Amino acid sequence: MFILSNSATPLYVSWQRDIGFSQSTLTWIFAVYIVGLLASLLVSGPLSDRIGRKPVLLPALALSLISCAIFLSASSVTALIMARLLTGISVGAIVSCGMAAVADIAGPHRKKLAALLSSSAMVFGSGVGPLFSGIVAEVMAAPIIPVFSVVLALILVSFALVGKMPLHSRRQAGPLVRVPGVPRKAFVHLILAIAVFAPGLSGTSFFLSLGPSLLYEITGNVSTAIAGILVFLTFASATGVQFAAQRFSPARLLAIGVASTAMGMVMLFSAVTISSSVMIFVAATFIGAGQGAGQLAGFTLLNLIIPSTRLAEANSALSVGAYVPAATLSLIAGRVSDATSIETSAITLSVILIIIAAFSAAAIFLFRRRIKQ
């Protein structure tokens, strides 16, 4: 599912050429994905805690198949928007319900392992998608059909896997749909996780939507393979830092996340200032590490203190808190890019996220004892 989420990224340059749309439209296409994801998070997390994991996961996989079918035949902005919307809805269910299903299968004695495996799968799949599609687009004149045919086949396999998962049905009292939240004892943990996860996700969102275009503006010529490698590097870094730091405490992971994000935005600011393509890749590495560490810290904190009966809802709350600012900042970046230049957009985003990272670091320091409890 996460391979699907970003497979279209290196292909947008081709769609822009064939269909014709602006950078602002491109960020709106990305934002529609976020809208679908957020809408799904508001429903899928609390719903799966009450009726079970499979009744939510299987419909989500079905929607992703429809999304693949639309991508295979997309010839308009409307089709791209619809495909991205359905992808967002599907991914939202996987983020909340799927990650909770991994925790359910792992059991109470392997909560940190469950958080590591589900969180790393999320970022690694997000990186493999654009790398795969970028390479295919580089070697094939018509990459759309092979890319999304492979993804469609993977999702069909997922149906079989989900069907075999040892997950029990559940029927709990309470409303089926409500705004996701966490118990009062976990509120500070949730806020700190969002304060680190959101800036990192905002940075990676920029690279997903406008990173290849920025690289093109600096170098004058970027292949789809290079664009895919840039996005893959971001998420490979997010994956690597999670395995490298898996034994660290959540508090230390939060500190690594905020420091990496801040350093990444400094590198991005510098890359644009001196027109260095190499530093863009360095920035992507740091920003990916920031998202990976913050994401792992957040899901680990929730896995450790939230009961299984509310875990999918808690995952939804964390994801909503991170994706809302990420979508907002992506839209701002797109508008600034259209109004001025993509370089100005990158500089503006860098300054904003460096300031946010500073406040997040202060919050971690103030509440560090609460995190360790």
Q: Looking at the domain assignment, is residue 226 inside a domain?
A: yes
Residue 171 lies in a domain: no
Residue 174 domain-assigned?
no
What DSSP line would sit under 137-190, residue for residue? HHH-S--HHHHHHHHHHHHHHHHHHHHHS-------SS-SS------GGGHHHH
List all residues 6 or more positions away from 191 whose beta carbon is below 8 Å from its beta carbon.
Answer: 321, 363
Query: Which range marks the domain in which residue 275 is found?
Result: 2-165+181-372
Residue 266 has pLDDT above 90, yes or no: yes
Average pLDDT of the chain to the nearest whole number: 86
Read off the pLDDT band of 176 (50, 70, 90): low
Residue listed under structure tokens 């599609």? 133
- Number of domains observed in the structure of the chain: 1
Residue 81 lies in a domain: yes
CA separation for the pair 143, 134 (Å, rounded): 9
Domain of residue 325, CATH code: 1.20.1250.20
* Residue 176, in any domain of the structure: no
Domain membership of residue 84 (yes or no) is yes
Give the whole-angstrom CA distance, residue 253 versus residue 158: 31
Most confident of 56-65, 331-340, 342-351: 56-65
Express each pLDDT in 184-193 by its tens digit. 888 888 888 8
pLDDT of residue 263: 95
Tokens of 290: 């920031």
- The verdict on residue 193 lying in a domain is yes
